[in-house]
Amino acid sequence: MTMASPQPAPPSAGRLDLVIVNWNSGAHLSACLEAIAASPEDVSRLGKLIIVDNASTDGSAALDGFTKLLPLTIIQNSDNRGFAAACNQGAARGDAPVILFLNPDVRIRPGALARSLDYLGADYARRIGALGIRLTDADGTTQRCCARFPTPWRFAGQALLLDRLMPSLVAPHFMREWDHLTTREVDQVMGAFLMMPRMLFEQLGGFDERFFVYFEDVDLCLRAKQSGRSVTHYAEPCAIHEGQGTTRRIKDIRLFYSLRSRLLYAGKHFSRTGLALTLFATLILEACMRGAAAALRGSAADLRATLSGYRLLLGALPRLGLRRRG
């Protein structure tokens, strides 16, 4: 459903706390902050800009050059607490009525924060529970970043590549068939830019910290929908999103946490049968497909990453505490 833009609310309608979780983001974090600092309209809306550093070792948390430009609050963790936990930690340090969770590999276009805040502020019926904006590649290509909620059938179809080979049978997770150039309600917006009223965020209990990384945004959007709110993609403002800014080099770890979070999501939201199907699709079907694909490509590195990721997953499986509902 396409939604018309509401009339902008006055700038005094609210202020924004911005939370960025950093873990070895390299130059991405500085570029992210530079983009914000270059937009006075956006800086004027900030209450606090909270950086939660999860024990980075690459020097990316050295941000002295921004302390006079932005209302920075920097939290240094002694270990990597995970993305969801760090987001909650950052949100707790603010008090503005609206929170934005922003990835360090995102560079906003001027006015993106102010326009998003005004759009949310003009939602007088308070229907919008989560708001995302249009994300683009560096060349301006719009990313297909909004997604459908997972289902057991979709997980099974993805494992067999049916979402790519037969999308009419298994709709893809990401809404690739839609150009993302219109404002509309969706199931899920990407956590790279996720704006939410603080009151709702606190009512929902924040992010579920069992999700170390991945699926925490899916879970939060689902719970926002279940509370009676909508999730909205706002197409007018935009930001550049690099994507996989800190996990690109560690394929096995990325695979492990993605699959781990998938199983946690299934255990939390699916029936007993749905969880069983997800386990079969993840541990058997997808493992075989990934291994076969790596072998056909002749990529020993991909095969090693797949084997390592699944070895980690199998070791963690007994500790996941998957809850099976009837």
Q: Please report how the helices 300-316 and 287-297 are oriented relative to each other, as an axis angle in degrees rounded to 10.
A: 160
Are 51 and 186 in a shared domain?
A: yes
Looking at residue 245, its pLDDT comes to 55
For residue 318, the 8-state DSSP code is G
Are 95 and 47 in a shared domain?
A: yes
CA distance 315 to 298: 27
Are 69 and 188 in a shared domain?
A: yes
> What is the average pLDDT score of the chain?
92
User: Which phi-psi region, left, alpha or beta, contains residue 226 (left: φ > 0; alpha: ψ -120 to 50)?
Assistant: alpha
Are 189 and 280 in a shared domain?
A: no
- Helix, strand and coil content of the chain, in percent to the nearest 5, comes to 40, 20, 40
Are 216 and 259 in a shared domain?
A: no
* Residue-wise pLDDT tens digits, 38-94: 999 999 999 999 999 999 999 999 999 999 999 999 999 999 999 999 999 999 999
Q: Which residue in 187, 197, 247 sits closest to 221, CA to CA?
A: 187
Are 264 and 140 in a shared domain?
A: no
Looking at residue 101, its pLDDT comes to 99
Give the residues across from 17 on adjacent strands.
48, 99
Band (pLDDT 50/70/90 cuts) for residue 324 is low
* Residue-wise pLDDT tens digits, 249-300: 689 999 999 999 999 999 999 999 999 999 999 999 999 999 999 999 999 9
Are 30 and 123 in a shared domain?
A: yes
Q: Can you tell me the mean pLDDT for 147-171?
A: 94
Looking at residue 124, its pLDDT comes to 73
Asked if pLDDT for residue 12 goes beyond 90, the answer is: no
Q: Which residue in 122, 317, 93 sits closest to 206, CA to CA?
A: 93
Are 213 and 307 in a shared domain?
A: no
* Residue-wise pLDDT tens digits, 107-128: 999 999 999 999 998 987 689 9
CA distance 308 to 220: 29
C-beta separation of 79 from 57 below 8 A: no
In a domain, 115, yes or no: yes
> Quick one: what percent of the chain has pLDDT higher than 70?
92
Looking at residue 2, its pLDDT comes to 41
- Report the domain count for the chain: 2
Are 62 and 103 in a shared domain?
A: yes
Q: Which of 220, 241, 262 is the last residue of a domain?
A: 241
Q: Domain range spanning residue 124? A: 11-145+180-241
Q: Which of 222, 241, 260 is the last residue of a domain?
A: 241
In a domain, 162, yes or no: no
Are 200 and 66 in a shared domain?
A: yes
Band (pLDDT 50/70/90 cuts) for residue 13 is very low
In a domain, 173, yes or no: no
Q: Which of 188, 218, 241 is the last residue of a domain?
A: 241
CA distance 290 to 295: 9
Are 135 and 264 in a shared domain?
A: no
Looking at residue 243, its pLDDT comes to 79
